[in-house]
Every structure is written in structure tokens, then in C-alpha cells.
Amino acid sequence: MNSRAKIEASIIMKPIYMAGPWITEHEIGVVEDAMRNGWYEHAYDYCEKFQKEFASYHNRKYGIMTPNCTTAIHLLLSALGVGDGDEVILPECTWIATGAGITYQRATPVFCDIEPVNWCLDPQSVDKQITPRTKAIIAVDLFGNMPLMDELAEIAKRNNIVLIEDAAEAVGSTYKGVRAGKFGIGSVFSFHRTKTITTGEGGMLLLDDDELYERCMFLRDHGRKSDGPMYYNYEVTYKYMPFNLQAALGYAQFQRIDELVGRKREQLLMYRERLNEIDDIELNPEPPAGVNGAWITGLVFGKSHNMTKLKAMEEMSGLGVPCRPFFYPLSSLPAYPGCREKYEPLNPAAYDISMRGINLPGAANVTVEQIDKVCDGIKTILGYKTR
Ligand SMILES: Cc1ncc(COP(=O)(O)O)c(C=O)c1O
């Protein structure tokens, strides 16, 4: 083997990661600054900067950083007064975190179907499942795709309930020229170690309403008032405070948002280009008059391929390529006992698409050669010729 071939082989041999961040000297420098100087009167400086600038970037009045996005959703539901006997609508196919806060509040999750075109909440399904007990709709920007936000907002308005946007996966996406994170009464983001902008663990709640902001701030820190007496708690609430080092990392990553989202979009475009010749598969679509932030590339096999996600993952793994399953319908999971019987007939698209979908590797360090290898793998398992 000559040296060039050796280098190429070593690149190909490197593991392909599903998810992972892009950390540079910039982030290391900012975190070092927080480590050296972010104490005493500076203990929240980066939290404040990150909250303010992240909110303003998304054209929101307030940003509230939380330990993760799961707690951001819970904080908002709690502040909205969602509780016993209430119902909250969410899509079948999402990470369980979207709905966990509903259960923490002892309310009932109501699972709605997804749209075949964007794999997000289907407004018609939502319309059918609204009852007098429905308190909120949580729309999820799955993988960076966008739901039909206009229609969901109209349904929420008509029924006098609130719309919440779970934008955990949608940094960098836009819909009709509006950034993901600007829809509904509040939106949430995740900075989990797998996300486009990461703080390892971390989340952000964005709001516009003054009263709701005050209530969330109160609930976030043990039920005390910012202008109240010291050590004086009015209610037993939560401790969902952020940490300055975590915020420093998030702030530094946020300063590179175009570069980070740019790389994700490049990956989606490379997958699209290389898989273009395959009939009857779908990858993340671009939203109406918008851009897909492409946190991860989803691939749904058309029925003609007779390919399930589990079979595809097994065969791809045999070729040395990791893939992940499209989210299972939440109502099919043991976490929600007895729900499958009710929801499978109501949500046929979710049950069907989930069976046929996988996620392709989307770590920030995935190389062009690795994307070639992933695409060759997909072609091989579908019986197409590779390069
Ligand atoms: C759609 C969605 N909602 C919520 C979350 C929860 O985020 P976190 O892990 O930061 O709590 C995630 C993260 O994986 C997600 O993908």
C-alpha cells in the first residue's frame, strides 16, 4: 500500500459517529475565561449573555437557560398551569422528552399523527383530537424539519389553547422566513452533547410574555422572588438553574452558529446528492419558504423497497456503518402502557413511517469519505450499484 492509500484507508477505518460536537480553540478559550474569571460577581455573566443574545437572535424577548431541554419544557408547562385532568397534544414520533413534562405535571399526553411529507405533527390529526380538556399543543421540529406552523397556530387560536414549539433539534431551521424558536407562546432548545450547538447537557426556553417570564424565573429557582427577601420561598418549586461554565460553552458555540449549522446542511446536501439516483426514498425536506437546519439526516425507505428500519440498521452495521432508528411512536412504547390499542388506528402514518425510517450519521466530524461509505452502504442494501 502506498502512503496515500494508507492515509485513505486510515480515514475510512476511523469510526463513523452518529452524533458529536465541533469544539475549537475558541470554545476552549471562552470556557477557560469562565473558569478563571466567572465567579463572585461574575458567576452568571455567561448565562446572562447567552440567554440575551440567543433570545434576540430568535426575535424573542426572553431567554431562560435550564440544565437541559427536558426541564425547559417542564418549566413552561408548569408555568402555564398545566396539571391534573388537562390534556396536552404532541406528535407520536419524537424523543420522549417532548412529553415527559406532561406526565410530571400529572396531565395526559395525547398523541397525534405525523405528516408523510415532513414527519411532523399533522394539523388535521390535531384538530380531531382536541377536547374541552386540551390545554396545549407541543409541535416538534423533527430533525430540523418544520411542521405546518400556520395551520397549527390557527388551530391553537381557534380553540383558545397555547402552542409550544419544541425546537430542540431545529437550530438553524426557518419556516417562511421565520427562525425556528419563534413559534407559539414559548419554544425550547436542547444543547445536549449530540446537538448542533452543545453545552454537554443544557437547554433554553424562549418567551415573549412578561408575566410568563416572571413565573418561569420564579419556578426555576425554588419559588423565590428576585426582589423578595433573602431565603424567603413562596412555593416549593424546582431547581433548574444553569451553570456559568455550561453557558460559556454554549455562548462560544452560538458565536459559531453559521459555521455549525453550515456543516450540518452540507451533510444533508451531500447525502441528498449521493442518494439522488435511488428511487422511492425521502430525506429531510426543506420547509416551506425556509431552510432545514438538518440536525440529523433522516431517511425513509419507500414501500417498494420492502425495507424496515431494523433490517436496514442490521445490514448497515454489517457494512461498518452505524444508523439509528426513526423514533418509535410514543404510544407503542412500554412507557405508555395500554396506549397502542387506542392510538395505532388513529395515527397510521406515524406507525407506518416509523417502521421504515432511519437516521444517518451526523456527527460534526463525519468526513466526505465517510459520507461516501454511508451512501454506498445504503445503495448496497437496496441492491443498487456502488461507485
Ligand atoms: C425533540 C426533542 N425534544 C426534547 C429533547 C430533550 O433535550 P435534552 O436532552 O436537552 O433534555 C430532545 C433531545 O434529545 C429532543 O430531540
pLDDT, tens digit (0-9, with 9 covering 90-100), for 320-377: 999 999 999 999 999 999 999 999 999 999 999 999 999 999 999 999 999 999 999 9
The 8-class DSSP code of residue 362 comes to -
Tell me the torsion sign for CA atoms 67, 73, 76, 81: negative
pLDDT, mean over the chain? 96
Which of the listed CATH numbers 3.90.1150.10, 3.10.690.10, 3.40.50.300, 3.40.190.10 matches domain 3-20+257-381? Answer: 3.90.1150.10
pLDDT at 14 (0 to 100): 85
Say which residue the cell 422572588 belongs to: 225
pLDDT, one tens digit per residue, over 137-167 is 999 999 999 999 999 999 999 999 999 999 9
How many angstroms is it from 166 CA to the middle of ligand 1? 8
DSSP run (H or E) holding 176: none
Position 386 confidence tier, pLDDT thresholds 50, 70, 90: confident
Question: Is there an atom of ligand 1 within 6 Å of 165 CB?
Answer: no
pLDDT at 13 (0 to 100): 59
Task: Tell me the CB-side half-sphere exposure of residue 134, using CA atoms within 13 A.
Answer: 23
User: What percentage of the chain exceeds 90 in pLDDT?
Assistant: 95
How many angstroms is it from 276 CA to the middle of ligand 1? 30
CA proximity to 30, closest of 195, 251, 254? 251
Position 44 confidence tier, pLDDT thresholds 50, 70, 90: very high
* Residue 6 CB partners (closer than 8 Å, separation 6+): none
- Structural domain boundaries of the chain? 3-20+257-381, 25-254
Residue whose CA is closest, atom 5 of ligand 1? Answer: 97
Which numbered atom of ligand 1 lies nearest the CA of 71?
11
In this predicted structure, the answer to whether residue 193 has a pLDDT above a threshold of 90 is yes
In this predicted structure, the answer to whether residue 222 has a pLDDT above a threshold of 60 is yes
Question: Is there an atom of ligand 1 within 6 Å of 98 CB?
Answer: yes
In this predicted structure, the answer to whether residue 110 has a pLDDT above a threshold of 80 is yes
How many angstroms is it from 360 CA to the middle of ligand 1? 18
Which numbered atom of ligand 1 lies nearest the CA of 194?
14
DSSP string over 192-231? BTTSSS--BS-EEEEE--HHHHHHHHHHHBTTB-TTS-TT
Say how far apart CA 139 and CA 90 lie, in whole Å: 6
pLDDT at 8 (0 to 100): 56
CATH class of segment(s) 25-254? alpha beta
pLDDT, one tens digit per residue, over 278-320 is 999 999 999 999 999 999 999 999 999 999 999 999 999 999 9
